[in-house]
């Protein structure tokens, strides 16, 4: 291996050390900000070190076909130390700022959805309920008026046909008593009255 290749490999390892420090700080800040459960942290640490080892090996393989020399570890260690000496605080600040920006963006999107979608749907629902209530009140009012107007004619009609219906009523009386039609009709009337009161008199 030539000297230039060795220096290139060492430079690549130094950059890899910088990258490892950056990723580790980012992962640490994200885990703290998002309040990961404590039992997740060892698992995430193992995943991080496995991913870091795989990435460093791929970079090393691309630079010198994977040959492990002392300068490889020197470059990697120097890159990590250089990162924590110069860039660690800056990276942590940037990651925290990005997390705050993402949170504010999510909050803004949720507020927009609430204003543009949720509140109009709730308002439309309330409007439909209000219109239904007004329509029910108007229907009941008209029904009562019509009932008051029709009642005299109905009484007159009953008075006129009563003499003709009495023989028929006497003839049907045994069947009414046998089938209990009077009680059944009364139960149906009470059921209709209860449902009417439940739906239209709220």
d(CA 72, CA 13): 6
d(CA 177, CA 156): 28
Coil, strand or helix at 7: helix
d(CA 202, CA 4): 89
**Both tokens assigned to 202:** 């709220």
Share in percent of the chain as helix, strand, coil (round to 5): 90, 0, 10
pLDDT at position 27 is 81
- The H-or-E segment that residue 139 falls in is helix 119-179
Query: Sign of dihedral through CA atoms 76, 82, 87, 88?
Result: positive
pLDDT digits 0-9 by tens, 60-118: 777 767 667 776 778 788 888 888 888 888 888 998 899 899 989 999 999 999 998 88
What is the 8-class DSSP label of residue 36?
-
0.85 exceeded by pTM = no
pLDDT at position 121 is 92
Extract the residue ranges of the chain whose pLDDT is less than 70: 1-5, 64, 66-67, 71, 158, 161, 164-187, 189, 192-193, 195-202
d(CA 25, CA 82): 14
Q: What is the largest CA-CA distance in the chain?
A: 129
pLDDT at position 108 is 93
pLDDT at position 141 is 82
pLDDT at position 101 is 92
pLDDT at position 42 is 79
Residue with tokens 């950056």, as numbered in its chain: 22
pLDDT at position 106 is 92
């Amino acid at each position: 291996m030539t000297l230039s290749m060795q220096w290139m490999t060492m430079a690549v390892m130094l950059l890899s050390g910088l990258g490892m420090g950056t990723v580790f700080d980012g992962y640490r800040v994200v885990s703290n900000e998002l309040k990961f459960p404590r039992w997740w942290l060892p698992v995430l640490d193992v995943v991080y070190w496995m991913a870091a080892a795989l990435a460093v090996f791929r970079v090393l393989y691309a630079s010198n076909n994977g040959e492990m020399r002392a300068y490889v570890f020197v470059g990697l260690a120097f890159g990590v130390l250089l990162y924590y000496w110069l860039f660690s605080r800056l990276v942590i600040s940037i990651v925290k700022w990005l997390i705050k920006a993402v949170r504010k963006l999510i909050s803004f999107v949720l507020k927009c959805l609430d204003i543009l979608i949720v509140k109009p749907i709730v308002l439309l629902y309330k409007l439909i309920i209000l219109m239904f209530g007004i329509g029910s009140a108007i229907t009941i009012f008209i029904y009562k008026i019509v009932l008051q107007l029709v009642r005299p004619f109905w009484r007159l009609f009953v008075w006129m046909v009563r003499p003709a219906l009495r023989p028929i009523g006497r003839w049907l009386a045994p069947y009414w008593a046998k089938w209990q039609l009077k009680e059944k009709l009364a139960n149906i009337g009470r059921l209709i009255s209860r449902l009417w009161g439940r739906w239209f008199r709220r």
